[in-house]
């Protein structure tokens, strides 16, 4: 069993860390929020007094932090994890962050003789709890081979997407598809409704026709056709519009660097930004249908 440092025990990191404890690994955990640390200690992990302490004797270090600035500040510099860990440590950053921060942090780790992967996830809090996350991983073959058994305790589908940063590239591209397709499905259901077509009938037709997609069949933005979708609980998340906006903004930044236009990605970001401006971004992102209905 491995010694694992785990830093960032929030909505995602908390249940991910618990699954590693359940699998028999020895965890040393740190978060700025004492209550999150206490919950993990109750589940069988050891408490570290700092991020550095969590990493200092670990075989693996997993981080699950909000954004690129947090990842940089935790890893880099004289006080960072890279300086604190022993040689041979494998770092796994599962946060969703900007691609330059991921690549720069991994380069710094490799320069110091460590291995590091960017390994963002999809599957949400439910997937984190059930251990069924999808991991999109960037980094060397060697680091991927070492980390895979650890990732398999937290996820079901583990993809090696290529070199450093490519996990973040895959994540940003996937979520841009999701953000755009949810708006497309929402527009279609509102238009159908206004023209006298019942939502269930449109669902029955489109879910077996060429309009079929995940936003419709797993996460339908109108109540009824998919009983488990957030539309059936007043758009309580799920995956918030704020998180979708964060990912679409990362896609915007990446499109500028790559000088690649993403006109629909840009439009989608603007619509979720309207939810933010209206103070409704804590709704599930499928609540964008309320914006299209003129209810926000």
The residues assigned a catalytic role are 171
165 binds ligand NAD (CB under 6 A): no
Q: Maximum distance among all alpha carbons in the chain? A: 66
Closest to ligand NAD by CB, 54 vs 271, is 54
Q: In angstroms, what is the minimal distance from the CB of 236 to ligand NAD?
A: 13
How many CB atoms within 10 Å of residue 119? 34
What torsion, rounded to 10 degrees, do the Cα atoms 235, 240, 244, 246 define?
150
Token pair of 67 as six digits: 């954004």
What torsion, rounded to 10 degrees, do the Cα atoms 68, 115, 120, 24 define?
-120
Q: Which of residues 120-159 bind ligand NAD (CB under 6 A)?
A: 121-122, 124-125
Are 56 and 17 spatial neighbours (Cβ–Cβ below 8 Å)?
A: no
Q: Which of 5, 6, 13, 52 binds ligand NAD (CB under 6 A)?
A: 13
Residue 121 bridge partners (DSSP): 135
Can you state the angle between helices 13-22 and 34-42, rounded to 10 degrees?
Answer: 20
Q: Which of residues 239-258 bind ligand NAD (CB under 6 A)?
A: 239, 243, 246
Are 183 and 288 spatial neighbours (Cβ–Cβ below 8 Å)?
A: yes
Q: Which of 40, 64, 102, 262 binds ligand NAD (CB under 6 A)?
A: 64
291 binds ligand NAD (CB under 6 A): no
Are 203 and 216 spatial neighbours (Cβ–Cβ below 8 Å)?
A: yes
51 binds ligand NAD (CB under 6 A): yes
Binding segment (CB under 6 A) for ligand NAD, from list 118-126, 197-205, 267-275, 276-284: 118-126
Strands 121-122 and 115-118, by their bridges, are: unpaired
Task: Please work out the total of residues on this chain that contact ligand NAD, with binding judged by CB under 6 A.
Answer: 27
Q: Which of 19, 95, 181, 215 binds ligand NAD (CB under 6 A)?
A: 95
Q: Which of residues 182-241 bind ligand NAD (CB under 6 A)?
A: 239
Closest to ligand NAD by CB, 11 vs 207, is 11
**Segment holding 134, helix H or strand E:** strand 133-138
Q: In angstroms, what is the minimal distance from the CB of 275 to ligand NAD?
A: 16
Residues near ligand NAD, by CB under 6 A: 7-13, 30-33, 36, 51, 64-66, 70, 74, 95-96, 121-122, 124-125, 239, 243, 246
């Amino acid at each position: 069993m491995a010694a694992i440092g785990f830093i960032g025990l929030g909505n995602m990191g908390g249940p991910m860390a618990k699954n590693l404890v359940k699998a028999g690994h020895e965890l040393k955990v740190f978060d700025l929020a004492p209550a999150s640390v206490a919950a993990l200690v109750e589940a069988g992990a050891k408490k570290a007094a700092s991020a550095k302490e969590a990493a200092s004797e670990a075989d693996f270090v997993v981080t699950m932090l909000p954004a690129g600035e947090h990842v940089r500040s935790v890893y880099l510099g004289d006080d960072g994890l890279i300086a604190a860990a022993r040689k041979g440590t494998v770092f796994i950053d599962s946060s969703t962050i900007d691609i330059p921060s991921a690549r720069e942090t991994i380069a710094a780790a490799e320069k110091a003789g460590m291995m590091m992967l960017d390994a963002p996830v999809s599957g949400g809090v439910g997937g984190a709890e059930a251990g069924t996350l999808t991991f999109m991983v960037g980094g060397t073959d060697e680091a991927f081979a070492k980390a895979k058994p650890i990732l398999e305790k937290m996820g079901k589908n583990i993809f090696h997407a290529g070199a450093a940063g490519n996990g973040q590239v895959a994540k940003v591209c996937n979520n841009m598809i999701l953000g755009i397709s949810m708006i497309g499905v929402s527009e279609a259901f509102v238009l159908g409704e206004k023209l006298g077509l019942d939502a269930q009938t449109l669902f029955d037709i489109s879910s077996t026709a060429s309009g079929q997609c995940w936003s419709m069949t797993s996460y339908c933005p109108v109540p009824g056709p998919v009983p488990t979708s957030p539309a059936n609980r007043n758009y309580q998340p799920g995956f918030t519009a704020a998180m979708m906006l964060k990912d679409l903004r990362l896609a915007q930044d990446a499109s500028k660097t790559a000088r690649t236009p993403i006109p629909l990605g840009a439009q989608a970001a603007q619509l979720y930004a309207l939810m933010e401006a209206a103070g409704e971004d804590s709704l599930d992102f499928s609540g964008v249908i309320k914006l299209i209905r003129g209810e926000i």
